[in-house]
Amino acid sequence: MPKKSTIENINTVDRATLEHKITAMRQGGKILGNLFKDLREYVQPGMTGKQIDAWVRKEIVRRGAKVAYDMLEEDFPGAICVSVNNVLIHGIPTDEPLEKGDKISFDLDVYYDGYFTDSAFTMLVGGDGNPAIKKMLNVTESAMWEGIELVKPGVRIGTIGNAVEKVLKKGHLGVIENYIGHGIGRTMHEAPEVPNYGRKNTGYTLVEGDTICIEPMASLGKPANRTDASDGWTVRLKDGSTGCHFEHTVLVTKDGYEVLTLPD
């Protein structure tokens, strides 16, 4: 991943720089949110990951942004991560046709005017499928929002992670701990780290102007996972169960938060 850069918030940069960051990330986030809204409707049984990837690549450019994954130091073979069934994250788009009821997760960064935004969501192809998977999706998305709603200046990262973890465990899901959320801005991954677990009132204290990604990942079975040695990217759950992933980029405002990656 790109090297971490200095966090840009109200304490570290001048007001003009901070306003430029917020404006750029609002616009990039809106592009990403609207693209994801359209992607939900675009995906149909019989499509392949590579078809979806080609559509996403075209849409990023058409909407005025840049394909962020093309800017990685490592060579990810796609414009978007497409993770199907027992693939948790970092799935490479393939020629395998999707089937109705497949679980599919999408994780996407876009680059706009010097800044990155990042979002992810999970759905069932065709809109219906295994009830246990549907419940997992609902619980994990709820956990993300539980964390987001706590965001404001003065709140510590451990408090957010603790809230996310409680929702996942109450839903009897495996909590993925070796992949976590992060700061974002001029690079995809910046400080602070934003785990999906933690103790209240510990860790980094949020400041106005911070931009962070809250992204819970969960599993129906055990959370242990591994990266495929064959490609160095694909992360699968070791027990073959199904996992999911939700994510938004969030701005810390003067008295609360703003989710930057929502559609119009």
Tokens 């419940």 -> residue: 135
pLDDT score, position 161? 98
Considering the domain boundaries, does residue 51 fall inside one?
yes
Can you give the CATH number for the domain in which 44 is found?
3.90.230.10
Considering the domain boundaries, does residue 10 fall inside one?
no
Considering the domain boundaries, does residue 264 fall inside one?
no
Domain count, the chain: 1
Weakly modelled stretches of the chain, pLDDT under 70: 1-5
Considering the domain boundaries, does residue 78 fall inside one?
yes
Considering the domain boundaries, does residue 23 fall inside one?
yes
pLDDT score, position 42? 98
pLDDT score, position 73? 87
Kindly report the pTM of this predicted structure.
0.96
Structural tokens at position 123: 């759905």
Integer Rg of the chain from CA: 17
pLDDT score, position 5? 58
Considering the domain boundaries, does residue 9 fall inside one?
no
Domain of residue 189, residue span: 15-259
3-state secondary structure 1-63: CCCCCCCCCCCCCCHHHHHHHHHHHHHHHHHHHHHHHHHHHHCCCCCEHHHHHHHHHHHHHHC
Considering the domain boundaries, does residue 128 fall inside one?
yes
Considering the domain boundaries, does residue 46 fall inside one?
yes
The set of residues, in sequence order, having a beta carbon less than 8 Å from that of 52 and lying 6+ positions away, is 39, 42, 43, 80, 82, 93
pLDDT score, position 1? 36
Long-range CB pairs of 11-20 (<8 Å, 24+ gap) are: 11/207, 11/209, 13/209, 18/209, 20/113, 20/114
